[in-house]
Amino acid sequence: MAFDPNLDKQLFAEAKEFKTTRITVSVQQYNEGEKKLQIARENKSAEGEYRFAKLGRMVKGEAEAILPLIKKALEFM
């Protein structure tokens, strides 16, 4: 079965911006299935536009900043 974007729902999303990056915490649900937590990073380009990047590792400040977002997201799961 191929991925159908019409069946993908975003139940919650909130982002925290830093100097050159933005981390978004969201809750996604596909085809009425299990709700899942998603954490994504976007890096700011020289033109000031955000582009998707692999989340990879977070520094302590980033992790501390998104903890409240994770707790809020859990209420939607």
Rounded mean pLDDT, 7-21? 97
C-alpha–C-alpha distance, residues 35 and 75, integer Å:
11
- Banded pLDDT at 12 (limits 50, 70, 90): very high
Q: How many domains does the chain fold into?
A: 1
Largest CA distance in the chain: 40
Let me know: does 25 contact 69? Beta carbons within 8 Å. Answer: yes
Express each pLDDT in 50-65 by its tens digit.
999 999 999 999 999 9
Q: For residue 57, give its domain range.
A: 5-74
Amino acid 74: pLDDT: 98
